[in-house]
Amino acid sequence: MLQERGHLTAMTGDGVNDAPSLKKSDCGIAVEGATEAAQAAADIVFIAPGLSTIVDSIKVARQIFQ
């Protein structure tokens, strides 16, 4: 729905059931401990635990691209 309206989407997940959404999103993020299916479907795989890993990555990416 959001993508149809021109929005960029991101999805985080760790299980087989998350794989389709990870693949469909503009940026799929598999988190620490994710299944192989989730990792394969994701654009990014984090090996460190915690939400702060995602937040820190966004901050660094913004610094690089701005």
Find the mean pLDDT for residues 35-58. Answer: 94
Q: What CATH number did the domain enclosing 14 receive?
A: 3.40.50.1000
Q: What is the pLDDT of residue 23?
A: 97
Q: How many domains does the chain have?
A: 1
Question: pLDDT class for 1, splitting at 50, 70, 90?
Answer: confident
* Domain enclosing residue 16, as ranges: 3-65
State both tokens at 13.
Answer: 């997940």
Residues across the chain:
66
pTM: 0.84
Q: What distance in Å separates the CA atoms of residue 9 and residue 36, rounded to the nearest whole number?
A: 22
Q: What tens digit of pLDDT does each residue of 3-45 get?
A: 999 999 999 999 999 999 999 999 999 999 999 999 999 999 9
State both tokens at 35.
Answer: 């299944």
**Among 31, 38, 3, CA closest to 17:** 38
Q: What distance in Å separates the CA atoms of residue 53 and residue 35, rounded to the nearest whole number?
A: 18
- Whether pLDDT at 62 is above 90: yes
